């Protein structure tokens, strides 16, 4: 999903928790790896998005993978 969004030049924010690739990483079965914001119980997804946008980061999409665990 991230690859498809990035292909036309969009940038986004990725969240995950307990991925098989380790902390602050997300991986696919195809072997792709990307950095992520590691989610812990205190993580506020909205606040992280607002903080980064306030600092000038362009965020066109959010991906939240495995955060339900």
Catalytic residue IDs? 66
The kind and range of the H/E element at 61 are: strand 61-65
Which phi-psi region, left, alpha or beta, contains residue 47 (left: φ > 0; alpha: ψ -120 to 50)? alpha
* Token pair belonging to 45: 């997804």
* Phi, psi for residue 12 in degrees, rounded to 5: -145, -175
């Amino acid at each position: 999903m991230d690859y498809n969004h990035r292909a036309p030049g969009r940038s986004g924010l990725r969240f995950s928790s307990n991925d098989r690739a380790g902390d602050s990483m997300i991986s696919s079965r195809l072997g792709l790896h990307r950095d992520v914001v590691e989610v812990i119980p205190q993580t506020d997804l909205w606040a992280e998005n607002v903080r980064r946008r306030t600092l000038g980061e362009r965020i066109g999409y959010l991906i939240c993978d495995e955060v339900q665990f």
